[in-house]
A = this chain, B = another copy of it.
Amino acid sequence: MTELAKHKQIELDLLKKLKDGTYPPQTLIPREVDLMAHYQVSRPTVRQAIQSLVDQGWLEKRKRRGTMVKARKIAQAFTQVIEGYNDEMQSKGLKPQTKVLLFQAETATAEVAEQLGLTVGAPVYKLVRLRYANQQPIVLLTSYLPGTALVDPATVDFTQMSLYATLKQAGLDVTRVRRRLDVLTADETTADLLNVATGAPLFYFHTQGLTAAEVPVEYSIAKYRGDVNTFVMDLKRED
């Protein structure tokens, strides 16, 4: 076996351990000296194997700490984002949780009024939620609903109920969403809530939810952590 084959062989063995959970996300892998002893190879060989896995996004080097297994991103299909958060996370084997940070009556700003088809100053509800997967914050979500949308908001427990299920019960089933995607960096408050560094990149969605009769009943602003979320799509060319 040549030296070149060795680093590749170690890389594949480490990769297997990353995939099967021997080295779980956000833990350190063994130190270089321990890997040298285990595989009976030189330091450059171990380093080459590790560097390749760093380049592929599996590992990251942390100053003075060692080499850490990166958090696996949650891959979400763009065509599935209209599904409920809980269903989506559970289908991926992740434990969802929702905290309601705020739920109150307000008056519509120009932006909210336009998106909900209301006049400026009309009554609306504002619902701010922080959603988790496996105890890790994933998305900060601010939703506006027409003040007429819900019969008795005080009775709705949004830590358990999905917004779309609640709207459906009120006879306002969302069947279509218009969504715009931007990117932004986390300000201090957002960073604190999402447990990322200030300035970390985020996905920034604006969503308008419509009923079958094209009545807007939801306007939401979502900030998804960039480090743990990824969105995938499969597009066929139209001729």
Contact = CB atoms under 8 A, between A and B. Distances in A.
A221 interface: no
Contacts of A234: 176-179
B202 A237 contact: no
A122 interface: no
A52 B110 contact: yes
Nearest to A209: B237
Interface stretch (A32-40, A99-107, A151-159, A180-188): A180-188
Contact of A56 (B111, B175, B202): B111
A237 B175 contact: yes
Number of copies: 2
Q: Which of A78, A178, A201 has the most CB of B within 10 A?
A: A201
Nearest to A53: B110
A233 B181 contact: yes
A55 B111 CA distance: 9
Interface residues of A, number: 39
Q: Is the interface of A mostly helix, strand, loop or mixed?
A: strand
A82 interface: yes
Interface in A176-211: 176-185, 199-203
Interface string A102-142: 00000001110000000000000000000000000000000
A151 to B, nearest CB: 23
A230 interface: yes
A233 B201 contact: no
A184 B226 contact: yes
Interface of A: 52, 55-56, 73, 75, 78-79, 81-82, 109-111, 174-185, 199-203, 226, 230-238
15 contacts: A55-B111, A73-B182, A75-B180, A78-B233, A78-B235, A81-B235, A82-B235, A82-B236, A176-B237, A179-B233, A180-B230, A180-B231, A183-B203, A185-B200, A185-B201
